[in-house]
Amino acid sequence: MDESLKSLKLIIEALLFASEKPIMAHEIHNRCLPDESLSDIKTALKELHAEYDLLGRSFVIKKIAQGYQFRTRSGYSDYILRILKSSPSRLSQAALETLAIIAYKQPILRQEIERLRGVDAGGILRSLMEKNMVRIMGRKDLPGRPLIYGTTKKFLEIFELKGLDSLPNLKEIKEIGSNENKIFVPEKKDQAEGNKQGTSYPEKQHPGGNRESNQT
């Protein structure tokens, strides 16, 4: 490739490195590199994304919420949490279920969430909004003008999603009753399990699950 693309890539690499938030191609274009075409910036981002993937380092560039961001691969949380002196972020099963309902059904009314889960959702909604994972999208034109809820960009960032359309499809349930463990979220994951889990649930969307390239 020509020199200009190479230097463009280096600039963008530096931007990604220095930024805390995922950066989008048009942000780079508008704020830093107005003279470069958007398509060149996009090409550079894509190439960087692929290059880091192949490097086999412990961190990669991931596509998050329509932008790009440097992130560690999964499997190092044990060590990282120790040096950060923090504990892993946790969500209760109730919170996860509520979040799943909102993510798939948004825009959604609180009443609808409560119908689906069969319990009051007020407390959980509040705490999800405090965590900035859920937001009020507006009001529905119904008696009482009830609030409509949806997920935030932060939600995408937390769950490593490119966008809402990259949520896995809701599965049809053919038969339940055989295996209880599959229905209840195993919330108390200690870190050792958390690590194992990275390999036992290989999600091809994110490179973290792809351990083979790490080991070779």
176 contacts another protein (rule: CB under 8 A)? yes
Contact call for residues 131 and 195 (beta carbons, < 8 A): no
CB of 171 to another protein, least distance (A): 6
Q: Using CA atoms of 142, 147, 152, 158 in order, give the dihedral in degrees to the nearest 10.
A: -120
Rounded CA separation 50/13 (Å): 12
Rounded CA separation 188/183 (Å): 15
Restricted to residues 112-131, the positions that interact with another protein (CB under 8 A) are: 115-120
Among residues 56, 123, 163, 186, which is the contact residue for another protein, using CB under 8 A?
A: 186
Tokens of 154: 């932060």
Q: Return the half-sphere exposure (C-beta side, CA atoms, 13 A cut-off) of residue 166.
A: 16
Among residues 24, 96, 109, 137, which is the contact residue for another protein, using CB under 8 A?
A: 96
CB of 7 to another protein, least distance (A): 23
Using alpha carbons, list the distances in angstroms from residue 26 to 38, 165, 212: 7, 20, 34
Number of residues counted as binding another protein (CB under 8 A): 65
32 contacts another protein (rule: CB under 8 A)? no
Closest Cα partner for 76 from 208, 210, 205, 207?
A: 208
DSSP per-residue string spanning 135-150: EEEEE-SSTT--EEEE
CB of 141 to another protein, least distance (A): 25
Restricted to residues 38-67, the positions that interact with another protein (CB under 8 A) are: 62
Contact call for residues 22 and 66 (beta carbons, < 8 A): yes
Among residues 28, 65, 108, 158, which is the contact residue for another protein, using CB under 8 A?
A: 158
Instruction: Give the nearer residue to another protein in terms of CB position, either 43 or 77.
Output: 77
Helices (H), 19-37: 25-27
Site string for another protein, 127-156 (x = CB under 8 A): ------------------------------
Point out which residues bind another protein (CB under 8 A): 17-20, 62, 69-77, 80, 84, 86, 88-91, 93-94, 96-97, 99-101, 103-104, 115-120, 157-161, 168, 170-173, 175-178, 180, 182-187, 194, 197-198, 201, 203, 206, 208-209
